[in-house]
Amino acid sequence: MALAAGYAASLLLSVAVSRARGEGGGLWTANGFLAAAFILLPGPWRVGVALACMAFHAAVDLAAGDGALHATLYPLINLLEAGLVGWLAIRFCGVRARRVSLRELALVPIAAIIPANAAAGALGALAASVLRGQPLLAGWLAWSIPGALGMALVLPALLLAARADQYKEFDRPPLEVAATLAALGALVVGVFLDRDLPLQFAIFPALTMIAVRLGPPGAAAAGLLTAMMALPLTLLGPAAPSSGLDGVGRVRMTELIIATALFTTLVTAIVVGEQTRLRELMLGRDRAARAARERARRAEAAAAGAQVHGDVDAGQASRLRPRERVAV
């Protein structure tokens, strides 16, 4: 249900961003939630989530004034893209491992997102050509750039967030987590509403500190929060240094900043998580080795004590034997 709700919320956000003021090229993040459902959920749940997402997508398109053919084709193409990404990620990227490593995370965009997005973009361009007369190359770029970037932002973060129980070393009090994310949200608002100073750089150290403190799950949540807040704030007006860009240019600039920040944060979080896990593993092995040495020392002491007692008993027996013979 959480993935379906995320799909619905991100779909509404993407539609609002792409159609605000008549501007196109918004970030399309919805397919990332659907692809995560194909990867993380069992078979029956996948079917249910997919049907619910497709029905909601069609309803939004119809409510926005799109025709029935548009409301049928576009959800199906998105379903095909998300399903292909899920299959490629499972087949070639090892995303069902207990912990997602840096190698597996890097393979997701290369071996799953880009090929699936290229194929779906061709179908989307063909549909746009038939429905609106849009040139094929322009239609392919309009589908591929927002779709690939949105998927690359959302899917790795969801894969890490779903494995929060595998990162016990980063368990923090709920109050601390809530306060940290709230402070990040306030920072994002201040950065993207400022009109005078280029403050986007301030996001990077904040996300890095969150990655070190909260680990991969916290970094994933922080990255998603930043992306979902930054794009609507970008549409409210030009922020430095993008004041000279048009609406689409501002969205593209924000997408680039978010993507760079998120990938940097996730890489940092995974590296910190692996180092923490190795340190805990080494400490555990050291404790086990010390315990084994202590058991061996106690066993040797017990064996030595038994040997001493045995020698004493043997000496006493040897001294008693002559007396017994004399008495006989």
Per-residue confidence (pLDDT) for residue 328, from 0 to 100:
41
Residue 221 tokens, joined = 């949540």
CA distance 316 to 312: 6
Determine if the pTM surpasses 0.85: no
| Structural domains of the chain, count | 2
Domain co-membership, 138 together with 187: no
Range of the domain at 95: 1-162
Which of 162, 185, 209 is the endpoint of a domain? Answer: 162
Domain co-membership, 132 together with 172: no
Domain co-membership, 182 together with 295: yes
Domain co-membership, 241 together with 92: no
Domain co-membership, 158 together with 305: no
Domain co-membership, 256 together with 292: yes
Whether residue 61 is contained in a domain is answered as: yes
Domain co-membership, 148 together with 179: no
Domain co-membership, 250 together with 113: no
Whether residue 24 is contained in a domain is answered as: yes
Domain co-membership, 138 together with 201: no
Per-residue confidence (pLDDT) for residue 327, from 0 to 100:
45
Domain co-membership, 142 together with 1: yes
CA distance 172 to 325: 79
AA letter at 280: E
Per-residue confidence (pLDDT) for residue 179, from 0 to 100:
92
Chain segment 244-266, per-residue pLDDT in tens:
666 666 777 777 788 788 888 88
Domain co-membership, 94 together with 111: yes
Per-residue confidence (pLDDT) for residue 77, from 0 to 100:
93
Per-residue confidence (pLDDT) for residue 290, from 0 to 100:
84
pLDDT < 70 regions, the chain: 17-26, 235-249, 305-328
Domain co-membership, 257 together with 285: yes
Whether residue 32 is contained in a domain is answered as: yes
Per-residue confidence (pLDDT) for residue 244, from 0 to 100:
60
CA distance 19 to 231: 13
Per-position DSSP letters for 301-314, written without gaps between them? HHHHHHHHHHHHHH
Which of 162, 195, 223 is the endpoint of a domain? Answer: 162
Nearest CA to 109 out of 213, 259, 283, 231 is that of 259
Q: CATH code at 52?
A: 1.10.1760
Nearest CA to 240 out of 193, 207, 189 is that of 193
